[in-house]
Amino acid sequence: MLAGTSNNKLVVEVKEMTTRFGDKLVHDRINLNVCRGEILAIVGGSGSGKSTLLREMVMLQKPTSGSVRVLGEDATGLADAPALALRRRIGVLFQYGALFGGLTVLQNVAAPLREHTQLSHALIDEIAMMKLRLTGLSPDTGALFPSQLSGGMRKRAALSRAIALDPELLFLDEPTSGLDPVTADALDELVLQLKASLGLTIVIVTHDIDSLWRVADRAVLLGDSCILAAGTVAEIVQSKDSRIISFFQGPRGRAARGIV
């Protein structure tokens, strides 16, 4: 089964991808498409290969076999220079933010601009400040260090850095992990706002069922080394497959849908 559609322009195409770590089979010839302008959520239980799949799509890890095309390029076989050019078109929010502790928030957001552009320092700082505002952070936050931020503010700061280079494609790894429900809801709303205002295509790896229902246009469920289901969440929850039912219609899934 191909987890995607052919009607829209594809920005990610995963074909017959297999991933092994020694004797452990993580992905077994999976196929997955991401369409331009959508928010696709990748979900599954612990150890199902969600974050591994994300790392393969952002070129931090190569699959054992198969192919991954990102923005029209074969991401599994690029030389260093074209791979770097492709990475500039992609933004990534890592699960724990991955902010540099020795840099201020503003310096963190400015780092990709300093590395990949020839802009003046003043203009870079101006752009970085604009990115902070886009993610709901005040200008004063730029002078703080990551250790001085709350969990939600760290996520927003890391998101500011992820969009610093105006990416076409944004990957979010567990964006609401570790956040209280109110802060998680606010971050979900921010993701929707950024998609609408910046025209982003977004891939989210998440275990947050509430977030899944709120933001995802489509979802894929990983399990047993394959894609168990793909489609809108409303479509997936109609499945009679016990593996899908246990994930989407358990206590957390019912709570997310407002079912007692």
CATH number of the domain within which 182 lies: 3.40.50.300
pLDDT digits (tens, 9 = 90+) for 49-76: 998 999 999 998 899 999 999 999 998 8
Both 221 and 107 in a single domain? no
Count of domains observed in the chain: 2
Both 172 and 230 in a single domain? yes
User: Can you tell me the distance from the alpha carbon of 207 to that of 224, in angstroms, rounded to the nearest whole number?
Assistant: 17
Residue among 112, 105, 96, 66 nearest 226 (CA): 66
Confidence of residue 257 (pLDDT cuts 50, 70, 90): very low
Confidence of residue 7 (pLDDT cuts 50, 70, 90): very low
Supply the pLDDT for residue 225.
93
Three-class secondary structure of residue 234 per DSSP: helix
Exposure string of 48-75, with b = 16+ CB inside 10 Å and e = fewer, is bbbebbbbbbbbeeebeebebbbbebeb
Edge to edge, the sheet with strand 169-173 lists 90-93, 169-173, 201-205, 39-44, 218-223, 226-231
Supply the pLDDT for residue 113.
95
Mean pLDDT value of segment 193-212 = 92
Three-class secondary structure of residue 226 per DSSP: strand
The boundaries of the domain holding residue 228 are: 1-89+167-260
Both 14 and 75 in a single domain? yes
Domain boundary among 166, 188, 204: 166
Both 180 and 81 in a single domain? yes
Domain boundary among 140, 166, 192: 166
Both 3 and 129 in a single domain? no
Assess contact for 53 and 226: CB atoms under 8 A. no
Q: Where are the alpha helices (DSSP H) in 44-180?
A: 50-57, 80-87, 105-116, 121-134, 151-162
Mean pLDDT value of segment 234-240 = 85
Instruction: Specify the range with the lowest mean pLDDT, choosing from 105-119, 187-201, 235-249.
Output: 235-249
Residue 208 has pLDDT above 70, yes or no: yes
User: Which of 66-70, 210-214, 253-257 shows the highest mean pLDDT?
Assistant: 66-70
Mean pLDDT value of segment 75-81 = 84
Confidence of residue 3 (pLDDT cuts 50, 70, 90): low
Task: Return all residues near 72 (Cβ < 8 A) that are at least 6 apart.
Answer: none
Both 189 and 159 in a single domain? no
Residue 191 has pLDDT above 60, yes or no: yes
Both 85 and 204 in a single domain? yes
Both 136 and 206 in a single domain? no
Supply the pLDDT for residue 255.
47
Domain boundary among 166, 182, 202: 166
Confidence of residue 78 (pLDDT cuts 50, 70, 90): confident
Between residues 249 and 156, the one the model is more confident about = 156
Instruction: Specify the range with the lowest mean pLDDT, choosing from 25-34, 49-58, 75-84, 135-144.
Output: 75-84
Both 60 and 171 in a single domain? yes
DSSP string covering 44-69: ESTTSSHHHHHHHHTTSS--SEEEEE
